[in-house]
Amino acid sequence: MSARGTFIVIEGLDRSGKSTQAGIIHKKLAERFGDQRVKLIKFPDRTTPIGKMIDSYLRSQSDLDDQAIHLLFSANRWEVASSILSDLQNGITIVCDRYVYSGVAFSASKGLSFDWCVAPDVGLPSPDVVLFLDISPEAAKLRGGYGEERYEKEEMQRRVRENFKQLGKEQKTTKEESWVEIDAGKGLASVTEDVWTAVEKVMGQQAE
Ligand code: TMP
Ligand code: MG
């Protein structure tokens, strides 16, 4: 493993299997490099005061303007930005379940412009790779638990997916290999294999 940790982000629609895959990667990396060398984080982090406001909004217990909730999601990332950087500098690899791409894809699907959505996240630590778990909104809907939270509606998820694809195109123009699209509609074992192949590739490249 390189001296600097690797920053791995997992993105996708609701019910695309992100959290399952993030957990699997975290476990495998911990087995390989030791518990101290890898951390699993997730956004939104619902445990902080800002995260609690986000949680209440997502569970439709409170209402906020689209701009206000967008800024809270971003602030929830800034709360831990310096700890992400220091962990990476200390050789700790970070597996991150959702990041700025969710921030833009979801808010833009409500009509806010991409540029406006991107602005508050500018300057946050950049991931080494984004693993985008691609699934059709129809397939996601069939998975358990869908429909409980505010954004889990097929029509919105369809727009979110388009936005993710647009973000992927933009990300690839900066660094081609930093956005990896994975077919998340396949079985668990197959998705796990594809995800792990991508993780090993980015970590191998970093070690060179
Ligand atoms: P979760 O299901 O992964 O906890 O995410 C909660 C919801 O919040 C999910 O529908 C995606 C959405 N979201 C945003 O709208 N903006 C963001 O910045 C993030 C991280 C998530
Ligand atoms: Mg969810």
pLDDT digits (tens, 9 = 90+) for 15-24: 999 999 999 9
* Contact 14 CB / ligand 1 (< 6 Å): yes
Percent of the chain with pLDDT over 90: 90
pLDDT at 162 over 90: yes
Instruction: Give the residue numbers spanning the domain of 123.
Output: 7-207
How many angstroms separate the alpha carbon of residue 204 from the centre of ligand 2? Answer: 31
Specify if 64 maps to a domain.
yes
Distance CA 187, CA 152 (A): 22
pLDDT at position 106:
98
Predicted TM-score of the model (pTM): 0.96
More confident residue, 127 or 204: 127
pLDDT at 101 over 50: yes
| Domains in the chain, number | 1
Specify if 184 maps to a domain.
yes
CATH of the domain at 109: 3.40.50.300
Specify if 1 maps to a domain.
no
Closest CA to ligand 1's atom 14: 103
The pLDDT tens digits of the residues spanning 106-132 come to: 999 999 999 999 999 999 999 999 999
How many angstroms separate the alpha carbon of residue 204 from the centre of ligand 1? Answer: 30
* Six token digits for residue 128: 């080494």
pLDDT at 178 over 90: yes
Specify if 2 maps to a domain.
no
Pocket test for ligand 1, best of 151, 152, 154 (most atoms within 8 A of CB): 151
Report the greatest alpha carbon distance in the chain.
49
**Cα 157 vs. chain centroid, distance in angstroms?**
15
The pLDDT tens digits of the residues spanning 133-150 come to: 999 999 998 887 777 899
- Select from 108, 120, 97, 105 the least CA-distant residue to 66: 108
Label residue 1 by pLDDT band (50, 70, 90). very low
The amino acid present at 26, given as its one-letter code, is H
Give the residue-averaged pLDDT of 7-26: 97
